[in-house]
Homo-oligomer: A and B are copies of this chain.
Amino acid sequence: MSYPEKFTGFQSPSADKWLEFDKNSWDPRPFGDHDVDLKIECCGVCASDLHTICGDWGGCPYPLAVGHEIVGKVLKVGPKVTLAKVGQRVGVGAQMYSCGECRQCKNDNETYCSRKIHTYGEKYPGTASIGQGGYSSHARIHEYWVFPIPDGIPSAQAAPMLCGGITVYSPLKRFGAGPGKKVGIVGIGGLGHYGIMFAKALGAEVWAISRSRAKEADAMAMGADGFIATGEADWDVPHKMTFDLIVNTANSSDGFELNRYLNMLDVHGRWNSVGIPGGDAGMTINNRDFIRNGCFIGSTHLGSRREMLEMLELVAARGIKSWVEEIPISRAGLQTAMDKMHNSTVRYRSCMVAYEEAFGA
Task: Report which A residues bind B (CB closer than 8 A).
Answer: 103-104, 107, 109, 112, 114, 174, 240-241, 253, 266-268, 270, 273, 275-277, 280-301
Chain A to chain B contacts (Cβ below 8 Å), 26 pairs: A103-B241, A103-B266, A109-B267, A112-B241, A114-B292, A268-B300, A273-B287, A275-B287, A276-B287, A276-B291, A277-B287, A280-B288, A281-B286, A282-B285, A282-B286, A282-B289, A284-B284, A285-B297, A287-B299, A290-B298, A291-B300, A294-B300, A294-B301, A295-B298, A296-B296, A297-B297
Quickly give the copy total for this chain.
2
Complex CA gap A285/B153 in Å reads 39
* Among B109, B267, B280, B292, contact of A287 (Cβ-Cβ < 8 Å): B280
Residues of B within 8 A of A103 (CB): 241, 266
Complex CA gap A254/B280 in Å reads 22
Residues of B within 8 A of A270 (CB): 296
Complex CA gap A296/B292 in Å reads 17
Complex CA gap A220/B291 in Å reads 30
* Among B104, B253, B273, contact of A267 (Cβ-Cβ < 8 Å): B104
- Contact yes or no, A267 B298, CB < 8 A: no
* Among B109, B285, B286, B294, contact of A112 (Cβ-Cβ < 8 Å): B294
Instruction: Tell me whether A294 and B298 are in contact in the complex, defined as CB-CB below 8 angstroms, given that A104-B241, A268-B174 are known contacts.
Output: yes
Closest to A262 in B: B298
- Contact yes or no, B280 A283, CB < 8 A: no
Residues of B within 8 A of A107 (CB): 267
* Among B104, B288, B295, B301, contact of A276 (Cβ-Cβ < 8 Å): B288
Residues of B within 8 A of A174 (CB): 268
Complex CA gap A298/B272 in Å reads 12
